[in-house]
Amino acid sequence: MAPTTQSHTHPIAAPGTFPGFTGPDAPSDDDLYKCVHCGFCLNACPTYLETGLEMESPRGRLALMKGVAEGRLAMTESVVGHWDMCLQCRACEVACPSGVPYGRLMEATRAEIETGFKRPLRERIGRKIGYENVLTSPKRLRWVGRAAKLYRKTGAQTVARKTGLLGILPGDQQHLDESLPELSDNFFVADGQVISAEGQRRAKVAMLAGCVMTLTHAPALEAAVRVLSRNGVEVHLSPNQGCCGALNAHAGELESARQMARRNIDSFLTAMPDAVIVASAGCGSTMKDYAELLHDDPLYLEKAERIASLTKDIHEFLIELGLRAPKASLDYTVTYQDACHLINAQRITAAPRQVLDAIPGLKRVEMPEGNVCCGSAGTYSITQKEMSLRLGNRKAANIKSTGAQIVATGNPGCALQMTSAFKRDGTDIQVRYVVELLDEAYSKETV
Ligand code: SF4
Ligand code: SF4
């Protein structure tokens, strides 16, 4: 879409008119004033590509941050709306020649929103339950998962849809209902299991199970464990671990994100691992930033630095270790989807492709606009339905144009987003994890 002029204007007052950013996690001036307004980031930004609006671009959002920081702008619903529309995909960071740490700035800004702006009551209740009560507890998360299964299995979902009940309940219950993902038959639970290495042990690792992925993609986590073991790696699913805190941190819920990080740090350190392996791009990116998240915590900073430096994305780890190439072949045409938190945040592009290329018979094709976010972005698909749908459809069209039978990824959010985009238009392209394909090739060796 061609850029159009911006539709929103924000009245600018004299500096110091409004309170500005006041919380402990406010964006730093050093970060804010790195931007030189060159605009190189604009065409890397998915929301700018879709709308053509300056205020839906990185530069526009940064201008709003500066306006609020200087007290020239109030943190109004409209200002917050532009920030909320950001996917935190960090494509702008890669495009920026001035090194603006956009991800860090947006995380800090979101923390400010939560202290200086009153969201509608329904949203505040939803956030309290979701971020503070459910994501912080793997047990409660599994209860929610079981309840969602019951909602489907007992026919309650059909009744709610047919009777129009969803339409009369407060909030967009229909969208929530439509967003309910398919859940795995058995959830993945990390409870202190140790899976031994096949053959001679080459490494000992702790592995993050995570949150949503344990409910929606348990078979992919099981495949990750088998693949590691097959590569001579002893895997510790250390007890008392939980969600990495990424969803909370991205939403500005930094205190609960810090609690989650501390819990995981303690859990992983019990295994005394050579590396901490993550099979989800978003979680790996957050864990590599644990030291930054806990920079003000003297008790945990050193431990956080240790875990951050040990954290490896599973594809990155396998390639660095020296991947054992499977002998059996897979006759598939596959396109690889770069998750934003691998390509932009962790800057990992080659390793997942190298893993796929190591599978005999597999033909890999690239998709157009591979670096444009699929629109999943954590809870974005729920909170920013329209933009998320647009970007999901855009990604699905790009994938379809490759003629691939399978799209492979390394992130649960992307997998869910692509699955629902294909479901909407009846496309039968499979969505698989890279490690699932590798696992399948290994499994054929023994048949
Ligand atoms: S993080 Fe992504 S959506 Fe947000 S401004 Fe940057 S490029 Fe745009
Ligand atoms: S590319 Fe960087 S310096 Fe240029 S406008 Fe975007 S954020 Fe600012």
Amino acid at 177: D
pLDDT of res. 250: 93
Beta-strand (E) ranges in 60-115? none
CB 394 within 8 Å of CB 385: no
What integer pLDDT is reported at residue 162 of this predicted model? 61
47 lines ligand 1 (CB under 6 A): yes
Question: Could you tell which of 35, 40, 43, 47 is best to mutate to test the pocket of ligand 1, judged by most ligand atoms within 8 Å of the CB?
Answer: 47
* Residues 268 and 235 placed together within one structural domain of the fold: yes
Q: How confident is the model at residue 169 (pLDDT cuts 50, 70, 90)?
A: low
pLDDT value for 153: 73
> 171 and 230 share a domain?
no
Nearest CA to ligand 1 atom 7: 45
Percent of the chain scored above 70 by pLDDT? 92
Tell me which residue of 260, 243, 216 sits closest to 376, measured CA to CA. Answer: 216
Chain mean pLDDT for the chain = 92
Residues 212 and 296 in one domain: yes
Strand order across the beta sheet in which 193-195 lies:
193-195, 233-237, 203-207, 275-278, 311-313
What residues contact residue 215 under an 8 Å CB cut-off, 6+ apart? 141, 142, 145, 183, 184, 187
Residue 166 has pLDDT above 60, yes or no: no
- How many angstroms separate the first and last alpha carbons of the chain? 51
Q: Which of 76, 91, 116 is the C-terminal boundary of a domain?
A: 116
Cα separation, 268 vs 253, whole angstroms? 23
Domain count for the chain, please give it.
Answer: 4
What pLDDT score was predicted for residue 219? 98
Q: Which tokens belong to 296?
A: 């003000």
Dihedral, CA of residue 198, residue 201, residue 203 and residue 209, to nearest 10: 30
Tell me whether residue 130 is in a domain: yes
Residue pair 42/57 in contact by the 8 Å Cβ criterion: yes
Pair (330, 435) in one structural domain: yes
pLDDT at 215: 96
185 within domain boundaries: no
In short, whether 60's Cβ falls inside 6 Å of ligand 1 is: no
Do 205 and 315 share a domain, yes or no? yes
Question: Would the CB of 89 count as within 6 Å of ligand 1?
Answer: yes
- Is the predicted pLDDT of residue 88 greater than 60, yes or no? yes
- Of 264, 291, 292, 266, the closest CA to residue 278 belongs to 264
Judge if 338 and 407 occupy the same domain: yes
**Is ligand 1 within 6 A of the CB of residue 250?**
no
Distance between Cα 373 and ligand 1 center (Å): 9
pLDDT at 4: 38
Both 243 and 164 in one domain: the answer is no
57 in a structural domain: yes
Least confident of 79-93, 179-193, 294-308, 399-413: 179-193
Please give the Cα distance from 417 to 87 (Å, whole number). Answer: 13
Q: Are residues 130 and 94 in the same domain?
A: no
Are 202 and 231 in the same domain? Answer: yes
Considering only CA atoms, which residue is closest to atom 3 of ligand 2? 35
260 domain-assigned: yes
More confident site: 200 or 9: 200
Q: What is the pLDDT of residue 152?
A: 77
The domain containing residue 211 runs over which residues?
A: 193-320
The CATH number of residue 426's host domain is 3.40.50.11810
Any domain includes 187: no
Q: Do residue 237 and residue 307 come from a single domain?
A: yes
In this structure, which ligand is nearest to the CA of 391? 1
pLDDT of residue 164: 62
User: What is the model's pLDDT at position 163?
Assistant: 62
Task: Say yes or no to pLDDT of 225 above 60.
Answer: yes
Pair (174, 197) in one structural domain: no
Tell me the CA–centroid distance for residue 50 and ligand 1, in Å: 12
Decide which of 293, 320, 347 is a domain's last residue.
320
Model confidence over 389-398: pLDDT tens digits? 999 999 999 9
Region 312-328 average pLDDT: 98
What average pLDDT does the segment 130-157 reach? 86
Task: Give the CA angle between residues 289, 292, 294 to the nearest 5°.
Answer: 110
- Position with higher pLDDT, 91 vs 147: 91
- Residue ranges of E strands in 367-426: 406-409
More confident residue, 208 or 175: 208
How confident is the model over 341-373, as pLDDT tens digits?
999 999 999 999 999 999 999 999 999 999 999
- pLDDT value at 168 more than 60: no
Rounded mean pLDDT, 400-416: 97
Q: What CATH number does the domain containing 91 carry?
A: 1.10.1060.10
Residues 336 and 434: beta-carbon distance below 8 Å = yes
Q: Is 413 in the pocket of ligand 2 (CB under 6 A)?
A: no
Distance CA 253, CA 132 (A): 9
Element (H, E) at 237: strand 233-237
Is the residue at 188 inside a domain?
no
Q: How confident is the model at residue 26 (pLDDT cuts 50, 70, 90)?
A: very high
Helix ranges (H only) for 193-253 are 212-216, 218-230, 246-250
Average pLDDT over residues 56-63: 97
Is pLDDT at 234 greater than 70 in this prediction?
A: yes
What is the C-alpha R_g of the chain? 22
Residue 6 — pLDDT band, cuts 50, 70, 90?
very low
Place of tokens 């594809």: 315
- Separation in Å, CA 74 to CA 71, 308, 382: 7, 36, 26
d(CA 12, CA 399): 43
SS3 of residue 336 by DSSP: strand
Q: Ligand 2 pocket, 99 CB below 6 A?
A: no
Residue 2 has pLDDT above 50, yes or no: no
Q: Is 60 touching ligand 2 by the criterion CB < 6 Å?
A: no
- Please report how many Cα atoms fall inside a 13 Å half-sphere around the Cα of residue 372, on the Cβ side: 23
**Residue 17, both tokens:** 């008119």
Q: Report yes or no: 123 and 129 within 8 Å, Cβ to Cβ.
A: no
pLDDT at 274 over 50: yes
Structure tokens, 328? 């059996």
Residue 159: band (very low, low, confident or very high) from pLDDT cuts 50, 70, 90? low
Give the distance, in angstroms, between the CA of residue 124 and the centroid of all CA atoms in the same chain. Answer: 22
Q: Do the domain assignments include residue 212?
A: yes
How many CA atoms within 13 Å lie on the side-chain side of 145? 23
What is the tens place of the pLDDT at every residue in 237-266?
Answer: 999 999 999 999 999 999 999 999 999 999
* Domain co-membership, 274 together with 251: yes
Q: Is 391 in the pocket of ligand 2 (CB under 6 A)?
A: no
Residue 418 has pLDDT above 70, yes or no: yes
Q: What is the 8-class DSSP label of residue 261?
A: H
Domain assignment present for residue 186? The answer is no
Per DSSP, 42 falls in state: G
Give percent of the chain with pLDDT exceeding 90.
Answer: 81
Banded pLDDT at 135 (limits 50, 70, 90): very high
The span from the CA of 166 to the CA of 437, in Å, is 38
Residue type, 317: F
Domain end: 320, 347, 375, which one? 320
| Distance from C-alpha of 325 to C-alpha of 230, rounded to nearest angstrom | 10
